Structure 1
Amino acid sequence: MGKIAAAVAGLVALLVLLAAAGAGSLLSGFGGGTQQPNSSALSDIPPDYLILYREAAATCPGLPWSVLAAIGKVETDHGRSTLPGVHSGTNSAGAAGPMQFLLPTFNAVVHRTPPPPGGANPPSPYNPHDAIYAAAAYLCESGARNGKDIPGAIKTYNHADWYVAEVLTQAQAYVSAAGLGAETAPGPAALEAINYAEGQLGLPYEWGGDGPAAGDAGFDCSGLTKAAYAAAGITLPRVAQDQYDAGPRVPVGQALEPGDLVFYGTPKDIHHVGLYIGGGQMIDAPRPGKAVRIEPHRYAGDGYVGATRPA
């Protein structure tokens, strides 16, 4: 055990040095495996879990360790939760262990992709080593391989849009570094706006809609962003063009931050706006016939103009 403890301490020391000296190499979004944990990750994630997240994510090309860690955080606070089903038994939904697997799902995953030596024999969902490697394998086979569909893989883990948004936001918070070319963690107002927008996922697009609180069934794009920031105590103009004009603008080339508003069209003819939530994703009310949803903020022919930072 002394050697294991020494190895853990040595890795943590190395990660601290990397975070301090190599933070400039952090990648924006979730596109690569070279992201280093920031001070928030180092202080929040138990060292043995951090090692497992990073090593398990490496078994799936394109799966960022921060996404795996964010799931562990959201599910059980990295195994620290004392709720039923974390350390024994199951919760009311039948989920077990630090990564909250349904037992049939866990058994099927470890049968298809057995975890490497180092866990329980046979593999157990309560063993952090087995649970984290199984979660990586499950995400990988659900769309995370080669970064193909990270949000889709997360939604397979838990079939809720709010869950996807919460995991993406938490993952970004573990790798952000203000002023170093990477996205920062959302501030209080931005987080409040994001939380509000998450709560509107699935509502219908409605032209001119300001949401149920205003008596409307749903939102249009600028109605959603206005309502999101109103929940954070920040007043925005009603239409997308005026929101863009109100600024303040994010300088060209500067990394986006969760909570930024992203705009499309031309500077004098803005036709769409979304709320950036990190990891290259936004929440928006896209168009008639489509519900409020999470989707990439950049795509071929998107007409992206720029961003503002109301918070």
Structure 2
Amino acid sequence: MADSYHKPVMLEECIDGLDIKGEGIYVDLTFGGGGHSVAILKKLKTGHLYAFDQDSDAGQNAIDLDKRSFTFIEANFRHLRRYLKMHGVGQVDGILADLGISSHQIDKPSRGFSTRFDADLDMRMDQSAELTAEEVVNTYSQQDLQHILGSYGEVRNAKTLANAIVAQRINHPVKTVDDLKALLKKYAPRAKENRYYAQVFQAIRIEVNEELKVLEETLEQMSEVLKPGGRLVVMSYHSLEDRLVKNFIAKGKVRGEVEKDFYGNINRSFKAISRKPMVASEKEIKENNRARSAKLRIAEKI
């Protein structure tokens, strides 16, 4: 597995967090370049690893892995429970999720994820999906664009920008990365243009791939899929994802609402292994800039 495809962040901490048993069954929800999966497989004896990735490019990295202890599933991890059932698996000993976008997806210009290269506005993690970034930008209503930009990108002038996009596309559809950047430049804070572009691109990407909805659906399956004592290891890269994970672990609900039993105890299926999320070391951040925003949360099924 090539680090050039995607260098895994906090690899050692993730593997330690899973507390791997040689005979256990594990799931890597985000196979990518296979770095985490290879590290898990090294610790398995008679156990098995199931790895998910909806990106067909990632499947090429799984070809040479030992099929006796490894199964690659080319699907969105929102279908976790269904695919495990198809493979005769009811419960597992650990689940790892390295959320967000892979280095490969960012670095491949044609995918349209990066602000560094001109390309068609695509941003689909699953290249067979119908909805693209171009469609979001050119067909969504002003209200929907404002919601996406404000909620998913935390863009401060979301209403102004949404109005500008709608006005621009009447005569000049926004079809490429450079088209969108040219429009954004007029509304970006001075000297903070790149951060502004990143916020807008993040917002559109989350909408195209339904990232928060998918995470919610998957977290809600965890209670059923993990065995008691099983480990959940989740790495997120922005506050929207981290908040969902934190709420789910602490309160059993991604929105943070609390359900209590007859005795007033909070109904939850997990206990946090550490109160605060783990972050990458300064050394790792120097070697891999993507680690800068990573937050790792580890929990155990009660």
- Decide: shared fold, TM above 0.5: no
Q: Which has the higher contact order (CA 8 A, sep 6+)?
A: 2
Give the TM-score normalised by structure 1: 0.28
Give TM-score, length-normalised by structure 2: 0.28
